[in-house]
Amino acid sequence: MKHTESKGLRWGLLALLGTSLLMTACSQEQGETTVQAESAGSDVASSDTVDNPFMHEWDTPFGIPPFEKIRDEHYKPAFDAGIEELRAEIAAIRNNPEPPTFENTIVALEQAGSAVSRVMDVFGNVTNTDTNDALQALEVELYPLLTREVDAIVLDDAIYQRVKAVYEQRDSLGLDEQDARLLELAHRDFVRSGAAMDEVAKARMKEINARMSELTTRFGQNLLAETKNFELVITDESDLSGLPAALVSAGKSAAKAKGRDDAWIFGLNRSVYEAFMTFADNRELRKQLFDGYRSRAAKGGANDSRDLITEIAKLRAEAAELRGYRSHAEFQLETRMAKTPEGAEEFLVKVWEPGLARAKEEKTEMQAIVEEEGHDFIIEGHDWWYYAEKLRQKKYAIDDSEVKPFFELENVKDGAFHVAEKLFGVTFEPLTDVPLWNPQVLPYNVLDENGDHLGVFMIDYYARDSKRGGAWKSNYRDASSVNQEVVRPIVTNNLNLMTPGEGEPTLMSFGEVTTLFHEFGHALHGLMTTQRYARFSGTTGPRDYTEFPAQFMEHYAAEPEVLAIYAKHYETGETIPDSLVEKVRNARVHNQGFKTTEYIAASLLDLKWHDLSANEAANVEDAREFEVETLEAYGKIDEIEPRYRSPYFSHIFAGGYSAGYYAYLWSEILDSDGFDAFKETGNIFNPELAQRLKENVYQAGGREEADVLYRKFRGKDPSIVPLLRNRGFPTGGSE
């Protein structure tokens, strides 16, 4: 789907421990390397302390990392120094002769590790956006080292006993809400990490975690290599039939960059892929691109990830069993809104059934168009996007060439900023002369309703070969205010839009517009947080809740009142006409059968991989066969693939969504129901509701359990009816 949060550490050890429960130390969708951990990064492992920016305070605006001064060889020595500092901090906590208290144990752990976090936050973000061979090799070295370091702390019985002693006194300590929450989460994190296990189990857990760090890093690197290496090269101009001018121009620019003035080159970047599959008249070329996309990391050779998948599933299951859980899914879901794998599956099936039924209707309608055109083939997977677009034009009289001129990137961004100001009083001032990790980055100073500094927002919207795929929000620095030291966040949004031809505007599909609003919602969640501790600051809640503030913002993208602000024709400045707005809004239910089915298929696949026992996972001989058999049991039709096949399902095998990819749909219950609250008042910017939303969601982070926070905003539990209605599905009998 739209969001995966970049791997980077958080300020404070407890925040890191909470994060490590969600994602093994790794970097997502990075390029291939065959360098082994013992020797990786040796050529970038030394740098003089004097000129190493990580060894000094940053005299930069807002403490933005001095990117222009940071070189590849700076990371390893800075990492080593940060680890030594972390060890000293932990030793001071462990060896403190004073009885354990909230301050000398829990707060001390929260504040430990800031030096290594500063290094790894930059490293994790840069390797996601501007990686190279040296950094990829260093990833293979650093993440296992970091994993082992965290394990040494969280599995240290002396540290755990101090945490446990404070936790057992919690009712007599007079803690306020945030202190009590930090204590609760600290104890929970240690227990769930395995602190209460015996020494034999702890030793095995360390082995598992170290191996997992290697496997997930390799998975992501394989995927980037496979995505980067594929090229669909077109030399006959007639084969471009149907493609929009902007896509043709982008293909020509890509070819020229590779020294091919006689060709057009199209790769597997999702924006390029979807546009080509939607508009290319040449059926054989659509099949080539489709097959290239679907076979990534599953063709044999050095980049094949199928064996990695089964080993990851086995090790996750074994780790869960060591902790006393039946499966990794059971372990993961214990602290999320769905609570159990069965609860998540039951919810998914409730939406799967009407979605699959609608998909079959869509297939029948599209097959009729094939026959009307005089063709005798049966629609296959590589035809769906193309004929879905024809069906959309037929039913709604709308096509992208009509819409995209009204969605120029700069205007769309300003529209998102307008919504934030109208709802929450948040404003964005462009920054100049600040360090950037790439010249394409746009930096902003973010101000609250009183004009006070909230944080720095940095936007990186364009695709490039050094950047992982997808769209995501991440942080270079989290917010906190421990001991009156106020630290405001540095938040990023990343998209992968096609770079337009020279001198041409960046025009967006409406799907890309909603993705921008989605990631902006995550950014607001990170920027507006007012929590004292990084452990539950910003987007640190359960996965099936933290997508809610992002998906909530998507609703505003299609509202006529908001479209009137930002949907301006890039040439004439004309506001999008009401007739076209109506078409855009009506067309939102188009192809929902396909979209629902491909997404839920991936979500069910995720749950089934992670509900295996260690023995069951070890007996999976072929990842593709497991995938097919799993989805056949739910009645998936052959023409629709899961949104992600397992070998390129980076959300779950190289990111933080294992047993949690269903979260986007679960959160859609919340965002649909929550936006309904505004619609019911007749004012999508209702100030009273906006204030409750601000205080209990965007500012609250993980201050309380997710269902409690939602009820404080909404005043009741959410209903699934708005979700079904928004997707155009029957709502009778639903609650």
H-run or E-run covering 610: helix 592-610
Residue 152's φ and ψ, nearest 5 degrees, are -60, -30
The Cα 535–Cα 9 span in angstroms is: 11
Residue of 394, 730, 399 lying closest to 593 (CA atoms): 730
Give the tokens for residue 56: 């000094």
- Asked if residues 570 and 612 have their Cβ atoms less than 8 Å apart, the reply is no
b (16+ CB within 10 A) / e for 162-199: bbbebbeeeeeeebeebbebbbebbbbbbbbbbbbbee
- Asked if residues 136 and 221 have their Cβ atoms less than 8 Å apart, the reply is yes
Q: Is 356 helix (H, G, I), strand (E, B) or coil?
A: helix
The Cα 35–Cα 260 span in angstroms is: 32
Q: Which of 519, 554, 598, 639 is catalytic?
A: 519
Taking the CA atoms of residue 729, residue 516, residue 472 and residue 188 in that order, the dihedral angle to the nearest 10 degrees is -60
Residue with tokens 């599959």: 277
DSSP state of 575: B
Whole-Å CA distances, 731 to 135, 253, 552, 667, 712? 51, 47, 21, 18, 26
- DSSP of 230-299: --EEE--GGGGTT--HHHHHHHHHHHHHTT-TT-EEE---HHHHHHHHHH---HHHHHHHHHHHHTTT-S
- Asked if residues 203 and 210 have their Cβ atoms less than 8 Å apart, the reply is no
Tell me the β-bridge partners of 366: none
Query: Is 582 one of the catalytic residues?
Result: no
Kind of pairing between the strands at 442-447 and 453-462: antiparallel
Whole-Å CA distances, 154 to 75, 142, 536, 584? 24, 18, 18, 51
- DSSP of 326-355: SSHHHHHHTTSTT-SHHHHHHHHHHHHHHH
Tell me the β-bridge partners of 455: 446
- Asked if residues 403 and 510 have their Cβ atoms less than 8 Å apart, the reply is yes
The Cα 306–Cα 626 span in angstroms is: 11
The Cα 241–Cα 350 span in angstroms is: 41
Q: Which residue numbers are catalytic?
A: 519
